[in-house]
């Protein structure tokens, strides 16, 4: 079988109401859909996560990655992954838009293989045969307290056993929100918080101590993803689990966090970090250090969610 075409389509949806998190307001949800066709009539679909400028990812898929793929055997995914990555890694393109484009291509190649072999991707990867996976509600965004409380009540009525709340405003507001949500969800429901990298390390330690007093399960992206010394300072100062990884790309980014034990939970996004091929390697690295893996999906399309479930 040979790959005959690779195309990317930008999808945009206006959000019913803006999503506000630390540092950003999202008014639209984007994705870049990757379609890979073969001469045997099978088509694989993949998603590239997109936050801004979806045309950039489309151009990388079609102008940079397509020439590597057309005419090749779609089952040789490891080989193509390496070829795509090696082409530009020494030119600074080992993350960002480039890896997001590669992620969508990789997901589409696995989907194509699954269709050709008539097997779901989770079985192609050696399947666990799990019928159920734990889920958490993500996330209670930046809203006034009354709106947050109302949303938390709805989540409890829906049966969620774990809930995530956005933080990033600092003391006292973040801790006030944590206390209010804890009161609604009770002690038996897990509460996680996510700062989206809003804090410097000193502020994150201050907030983190407050979170520890209220039994928060994990503190996600307390500092920016490039601040490895900041993560190290947090690990020394706090006992709360530190989660992160949605802003990291490929096993090479995760290597530094895992080797230095800077994260207690890794959260790669399959549509960003490099697709199935790369995320299963990151999962193996995390497993070897006994670090749990909680996939990130965020404001993504359905393909990212489905692919994460298979992974």
Active-site amino acid positions: 296
> CB under 8 Å to 136, separation ≥6 — which residues?
160, 161, 162, 163, 164, 190, 192
- Minimum Å distance from CB 61 to Mg ion? 25
> CB under 8 Å to 47, separation ≥6 — which residues?
31, 32, 33, 34, 103, 104, 107, 271, 300, 301, 303, 304, 307
Give the helix, strand, coil percentages of the chain, each rounded to 5. Answer: 45, 20, 30
- Minimum Å distance from CB 71 to Mg ion? 39
Rg (CA), the chain: 20
State which residue, 106 or 194, has the beta carbon closest to Mg ion. 194
State which residue, 121 or 286, has the beta carbon closest to Mg ion. 286
Q: Which residue is closest to Mg ion by CB?
A: 194
- Cβ-contact 272, 250 below 8 angstroms: no
State which residue, 115 or 166, has the beta carbon closest to Mg ion. 166
Token pair of 69 as six digits: 């793929």
Token pair of 266 as six digits: 């890794």
Q: Which of 5, 116, 2, 1 is nearest to 65 (CA)?
A: 5
Q: Measured between alpha carbons, how far is 249 from 79 in angstroms, rounded to an integer?
A: 19
- Minimum Å distance from CB 48 to Mg ion? 18
- Cβ-contact 60, 215 below 8 angstroms: no
Query: Could you count the other beta carbons within 10 Å of the beta carbon of residue 265?
Result: 19
State which residue, 106 or 269, has the beta carbon closest to Mg ion. 269
State which residue, 113 or 270, has the beta carbon closest to Mg ion. 270
- Minimum Å distance from CB 249 to Mg ion? 15
- Minimum Å distance from CB 166 to Mg ion? 8
- Minimum Å distance from CB 246 to Mg ion? 5
State which residue, 26 or 75, has the beta carbon closest to Mg ion. 26
- Applying CB under 5 A, the residues found at the interface with Mg ion are 194
Can you count the helices (H) and strands (E) in the chain?
Answer: 13, 9
């Amino acid at each position: 079988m040979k790959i005959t075409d690779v195309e990317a389509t930008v999808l945009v949806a206006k959000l019913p109401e803006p999503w506000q998190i630390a540092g950003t307001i999202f008014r639209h949800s984007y994705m870049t859909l990757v379609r890979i066709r073969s001469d045997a009539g099978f088509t694989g679909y993949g998603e590239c996560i997109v936050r801004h400028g979806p045309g950039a990812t489309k151009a990388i898929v079609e102008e940079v990655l397509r020439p590597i793929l057309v005419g090749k055997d779609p089952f040789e995914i490891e080989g193509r992954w390496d070829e795509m990555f090696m082409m530009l890694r020494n030119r600074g393109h080992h993350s960002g838009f480039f890896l997001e484009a590669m992620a969508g291509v990789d997901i589409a190649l696995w989907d194509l293989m699954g269709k050709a072999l008539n097997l779901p991707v989770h079985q192609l990867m050696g399947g666990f045969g799990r019928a159920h996976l734990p889920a958490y509600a993500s996330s209670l965004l930046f809203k006034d307290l009354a709106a947050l409380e109302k949303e938390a009540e709805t989540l409890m009525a829906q049966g969620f056993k774990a809930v995530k709340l956005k933080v990033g405003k600092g003391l006292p507001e973040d801790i006030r929100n944590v206390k209010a949500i804890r009161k609604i969800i009770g002690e038996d429901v897990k509460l996680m918080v996510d700062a989206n990298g809003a804090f410097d390390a000193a502020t994150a330690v201050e907030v983190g101590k407050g979170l520890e007093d209220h039994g928060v399960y994990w503190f996600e992206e307390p500092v920016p993803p490039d601040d490895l010394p900041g993560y190290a300072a947090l690990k020394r100062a706090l006992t709360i689990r530190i989660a992160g990884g949605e802003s990291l790309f490929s096993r090479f980014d995760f290597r530094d966090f895992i080797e230095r034990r800077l994260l207690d939970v890794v959260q790669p996004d399959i549509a960003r970090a490099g697709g199935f091929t790369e995320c299963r390697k990151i999962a193996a690295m995390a497993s070897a250090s006994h670090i749990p893996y909680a996939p990130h999906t965020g404001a993504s399309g359905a393909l990212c969610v489905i692919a994460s479930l298979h992974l």
